[in-house]
Amino acid sequence: MTHPSRNDFKHNVLVNLVDGGFFGLAIGLASFTTILPLFVSTMTESATLIGLVPAIHNMGWLLPQLFTSKKISRMAVLKPFVLLNTINERVPFLFLALIAWTLPEIGTTAGLILTFLALVWQGMGSGLAANAWQNMIGKVIPPDFLATFFGLQSAVANLLSSLGAFTAGFILDRNPGPQGFTFSFLAAFTFMVISWTFLKQTREMPTQRQDGQAPQAPLWKTIREIFSNNRPFIWFLTSRLLYYLGMMAFAFFIVYAVRKLGMNEIEAGILTSVLLITQMAANITLGRLADKWSRKGVIELGAVASVASCLLAWLAPNAAWFYPVIILEGIANTAFWTIGFPILLEFGSDEQRPMFVGLGNTLVAPVAILSPILGGWLADYVSYPVAFLISGIFGMAAVLILHFFVTDPKSRQKSAQPVN
């Protein structure tokens, strides 16, 4: 084992798995797709405002990553930067608990404004920490175990997130009104603090920097150079954008099954459980497969699963068809997010890597906002099946580009190594 972090390998895997587990538990208690939209719905009937909750979180996580890349690339040690900035994605949950607690006194208008300020704060905090965190994990986890680790961490986080969501439902049922949200957000903050203490235990070796390095070029000049000299990355980024558009239908699968195909609430709950179980299994399986076989190949399989899920939903004559639809959705989601982390870390040199990670995530941010709007417009003004079909077409374009134009970075690295 030649990787500089091998001596601390087991320690770093353990503490970061526990960090991910407690982080997932906290997110389950204050979910951006269920609990927080429900809290906002107690203050407004606007579907647009309610729908902004997950959009703000996704945008916040993706957008800042490019703009921190230059600073990160000059750092010999990343952990202090991660620990400092991730405070800003954790403390807002305490602020949300205070908003809920004082809501009867401050009123819904002030509560709504303060809630969205807290959501923006939390989203931007996560985005400021995200690039450095991904690169730190890339340093402390050996390359041949990296996708496996991200898969294991995501599986643990998903499992405990499910427990957190169940606990939040119990808290809200026993404590109606703002008090229930106060307890749920406070519990989320508590587990975020525990998560942070385990993250702090990460052992990171300083990166060796050459003395007398030339000053770095401005950000936009560096971006132009990357796009001019890295055609494989341009193709991968194009496929990533199309892949994301190919998943825009996912948000409407269960809604369509309930509204148009007569699925009841119990079956919808079962489908949600099927999705979570699929993602837990897929995280472990696809992560290991990506390390042993090909990360690009696994992402391509995920894109195929995305297309298949959309086409099945488009053709579905009854609600029973949505069980395989949801299973395929879980595989597609896992391949995009979990395997997307390690493959982005394979582009460029050590010093360039933060820039590639930043570009690979920040340039997806506009699509993260526009794709649910496009999907919702198609569903409302044309039809749900048409939205599913168009989503599938985007996904098929991603499959074709991945298959014919994207080269696995790991394969290129191996072929570039000198033969003794």
pLDDT at 212 over 50: no
- The token pair that represents 3 in the structure block: 């990787």
Rounded CA gap, 13 and 176, in Å? 40
**Per-residue pLDDT, 380:** 82
Residue type, 265: E
pLDDT digits (tens, 9 = 90+) for 157-201: 999 998 998 899 889 989 988 999 999 999 999 999 999 999 999
Report, at the CATH architecture level, how domain 1-202 is classified: Up-down Bundle (1.20)
Rounded CA gap, 134 and 416, in Å? 25
CB hemisphere CA count around 254 (13 angstroms): 16
pLDDT at 204 over 60: yes
pLDDT digits (tens, 9 = 90+) for 60-105: 999 999 999 989 988 999 999 999 999 999 999 999 999 999 999 9
What confidence tier does 20 reach under pLDDT thresholds 50, 70, 90?
very high
Could you tell me which residues come within 8 angstroms of residue 395 by beta carbon, excluding any fewer than 6 positions away?
A: 242, 243, 245, 246, 247, 303, 306, 307, 310, 332
Comparing CA positions, the residue from 138, 125, 69 lying closest to residue 360 is: 69
Question: CA-CA distances (angstroms) from residue 370 to 130, 251, 303, 366?
Answer: 22, 13, 19, 6
Confirm if 116 and 252 have CB atoms less than 8 A apart.
no
Average pLDDT, the chain: 89
- The token pair that represents 85 in the structure block: 């900035």
Residue ranges of the domains in the chain?
1-202, 231-405
pLDDT digits (tens, 9 = 90+) for 243-292: 999 999 888 888 888 889 988 877 887 887 788 889 999 999 999 999 99
Rounded CA gap, 83 and 201, in Å? 11
pLDDT digits (tens, 9 = 90+) for 363-417: 998 888 788 788 888 888 889 999 999 999 999 999 999 999 998 776 555 544 4
Q: For the chain, what's the residue count?
A: 420
Alpha helices (H) along 293-383? 295-315, 322-337, 340-344, 353-362, 365-381
Confirm if 199 and 83 have CB atoms less than 8 A apart.
yes
What confidence tier does 360 reach under pLDDT thresholds 50, 70, 90?
very high
What confidence tier does 2 reach under pLDDT thresholds 50, 70, 90?
very low
What CATH superfamily classification does 231-405 receive? MFS general substrate transporter like domains (1.20.1250.20)
Residue type, 35: I
Q: pTM here?
A: 0.87
